Each structure stands twice: as structure tokens, then as C-alpha cells.
């Protein structure tokens, strides 16, 4: 067809620049597809990561607890060594309650053992001739010395001058009261008699005070022993044991008394 004035020129190749019969291409959806895939992957890894954390968290917590318990075992072993060093120097274990010049309770065995259990400055600053909460010692009551703290204990306990390392107050125990005990008094054997113990079930006592727990109080705490709340004990020979389950009163009494003559079974 020839060109006529007023008519547009012919377009033999169809419309626009596209060949005849071929439609104009649509916009690409590649960016949208990529974003969807990335979003799916993010959600997938988030869910998998959360699941992994949920699976690992109990194991991590168990490992932390085991490390803290091991540190507490080392701590109470050090206390047991302090008892033996005191026996080497004085010929007997420290009394649960040390009396002052006036015949009244002055301080407990933990304060008495300071020179044997720590090289902290408090060991030299403590006034053994004065009562535990006297003006000369009051500035040393807080925080609790590191030798009487466990990694399990809170910072509040340390700030308040409390400890969970205690003895058992009973006429037949190794810490009966104001009378000190020596090896000759332990006819049941030092390896069969409890010297002191630790439990995170204890509320805590002032570390320097002549305070411990009675046999009934101790048994109540021991009856709540579990893998997550064990009783960590040091025996008269300095060995350390961990009790993960409640003991019968018979076994407890056999371990507590130094001269009861009871057979001690495995615990």
C-alpha cells in the first residue's frame, strides 16, 4: 500500500518495537520470588534455632549446676582441711561455740577456723578475744568471706553476711556445743561421721555466729535431697560426699553420731 498524505506510516512489524504477533513482555517477578524465598528461610532458621536452643538449654543448665556443685565440693573440702589443721595445732577440732572471757558464747567454729581456711585479710583482722558481733568485729561481718560462700549462693547472701555451711548440733555429733572433740572421741570412725554440710535449702546463718542446725532440722533438710538440690557433706576424715536422695532416719543418725556404734551403710 502506498503512502497517502494524512495517514500514519505503516508498521510492518506489528505494534511498537515488538515483532508482529508478539505481545509486549510483562514486568519480571524475580525480586518478589527472591524475597519470598528469603523470608521462608529466615522463618525456617528462626524456628530451627529456637528448637535447638530449647533442646540445648536443659543440658547447658545441667552443666552449670554440675560446675557449681563441684566448686561447692571443693569449698567444703577446704573447710574440712581447716578442721584438721586446727586439730594439728590445738589437739582437737574447734568447738561449735567458743566461749569468751566472761563465759558467754563468743563466736562459732567458722570464725575460729578463719586462719585455717582463708588467706583473706579478715583472717588477721578478726578479734578472737571479742564477741562475733562486738564493735571490734562488726565491720568484718559483711560481706561473707569467700571461704564460706558457694557459687550457688546469691549475691544477697554474701552482702548480708550469711552462709549455708553448717554443722549439726547434737551431744553425739562432732560439733556438740562448747566442748571440743578430738580423734579419740570418734569411736565410730572419722570416715563414718559427718563434720559439716551444705544445702541450698538452708536459709543461711550469720557466718561468724555460734549458730548451726539441730539434728531434727538437719534431717528435715536431708529428707528433701534430690539431684537438683543435693546435700554436700564433709566427713571427719575430710572426705566429701554428695547425697542425691533422702536418707532414712536410721542412716542419718549413724552418720551424725561419732560414738553411737551404728553400722553405716552406703549412702
pLDDT of residue 257: 97
Strands (E), the chain: 97-99, 105-108, 162-163, 165-166, 168-169, 194-198, 205-206, 213-214, 231-235, 240-243
Nearest Cα to Cα of residue 229 among 185, 193, 189, 199 = 199
What residues does each domain of the chain span?
Answer: 63-256
What are the tens digits of pLDDT across the range 114-135? 999 998 899 999 998 899 999 9
**pLDDT over 90 percentage in the chain:** 70
Would you say 163 and 205 are in contact if contact means Cβ atoms under 8 Å apart? Answer: yes
pLDDT over 50 at 54, yes or no: yes
Residue where the block lists cell 582441711: 81
The pTM score is 0.78
Give the N- to C-terminal CA distance of the chain in Å, as an integer: 113
What are the tens digits of pLDDT across the range 139-170? 999 999 999 999 999 999 999 999 999 999 99
Amino acid at each position: 500500500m502506498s503512502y497517502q498524505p494524512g495517514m500514519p506510516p505503516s508498521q510492518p512489524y506489528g505494534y511498537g518495537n515488538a515483532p508482529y504477533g508478539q505481545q509486549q513482555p510483562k514486568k519480571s517477578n524475580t525480586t518478589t520470588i527472591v524475597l519470598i524465598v528469603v523470608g521462608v528461610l529466615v522463618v525456617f532458621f528462626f524456628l530451627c534455632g529456637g528448637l535447638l536452643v530449647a533442646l540445648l538449654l536443659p543440658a547447658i543448665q545441667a552443666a552449670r549446676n554440675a560446675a557449681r556443685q563441684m566448686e561447692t565440693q571443693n569449698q567444703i573440702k577446704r573447710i574440712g582441711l581447716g578442721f584438721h589443721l586446727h586439730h594439728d595445732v590445738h589437739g582437737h577440732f574447734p568447738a561449735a561455740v567458743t566461749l569468751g572471757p566472761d563465759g558467754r558464747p563468743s563466736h562459732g567454729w567458722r570464725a575460729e577456723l578463719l586462719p585455717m581456711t582463708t588467706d583473706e585479710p579478715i583472717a588477721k583482722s578478726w578479734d578472737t578475744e571479742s564477741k562475733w558481733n562486738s564493735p571490734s568485729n562488726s565491720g568484718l561481718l559483711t560481706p561473707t568471706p569467700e571461704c564460706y560462700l558457694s557459687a550457688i549462693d546469691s549475691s544477697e547472701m554474701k552482702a548480708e553476711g550469711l552462709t549455708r555451711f553448717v554443722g549439726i548440733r547434737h551431744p553425739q555429733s562432732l560439733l556438740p556445743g562448747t566442748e571440743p572433740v578430738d580423734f579419740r572421741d570418734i569411736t565410730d570412725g572419722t570416715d563414718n561421721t559427718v563434720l559439716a554440710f551444705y544445702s541450698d535449702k538452708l536459709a543461711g546463718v550469720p557466718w561468724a555466729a555460734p549458730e548451726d542446725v539441730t539434728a531434727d532440722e538437719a534431717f528435715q533438710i536431708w529428707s528433701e535431697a534430690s539431684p537438683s538440690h543435693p546435700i554436700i557433706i564433709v566427713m571427719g576424715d575430710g572426705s566429701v560426699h554428695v547425697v542425691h536422695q533422702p536418707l532414712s532416719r536410721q542412716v542419718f543418725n549413724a552418720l551424725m553420731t561419732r560414738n553411737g556404734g551404728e553400722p553405716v551403710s552406703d549412702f
